[in-house]
Amino acid sequence: MDSIPIPEETFEPPIPLAHQYKMIFLRKDTDFFGIFVVNCLFTILTIGFYYPFARAKTIHYLYGETSLQGSRLYFSGTGTGTGREMFKGFIIAIAVFVSLNLLFYLSEYNHFYIGLLILYLGCLVLIPIAINGSTRYRMSRTIWHCIRFGYREKS
C-alpha cells in the first residue's frame, strides 16, 4: 500500500521541555541558630518592638543561603534600612489592630454582637490586604542575578 505524502509545512518541531532550575539551600545550622537566639533575646528585651528588625535579618540570611542556578538570592536594603521600613508597617498594623479592638470594646457595652461583627469584618478585610502588601514588599526587595523581582496585583 502506498502511503499518502504529507507536505513538510505541516510538521512542527517538537516543543522543548521546560527549563529546569535547580534551587539549593546552603545552610549553616550554627550561624542561623546564633541569629535566632540574638533575635529572640532582643525581641523579648524590647517587648516585641525589635521583631521587624529580627525578621529582616532572618530573611536576609535565608535568602543569602539560597542558590538558584548557581546564583544566590539577595534581600536588598539590609541592616537598618529594611528593618525601618518593616517597623513602619509593624506600627501601622498595631495601630489598626488596637483601633479595631477599641471599636469592639466600645460597642460591647451597648451591642456585643455588632461589636463582634465589626471586629470580624475588619479582620476579614484587613488580612488579605496585609498578605498582599507583605508579598509585594518582599518581592520588591528580592534580587536574583541582578534581576529585581516584583509583584503587581491585578484589580
User: Can you give the pTM of this predicted structure?
Assistant: 0.71
Mean pLDDT of 58-65: 89
Q: What percent of the chain has pLDDT over 70?
A: 81
In angstroms, what CA-CA distances link 28 with 33, 40, 62, 69? 9, 19, 10, 19
Summarize the confidence of residues 11-24 as an average pLDDT.
Answer: 67
- Domain regions of the chain by residue span: 23-148
Report pLDDT for 46. Answer: 95
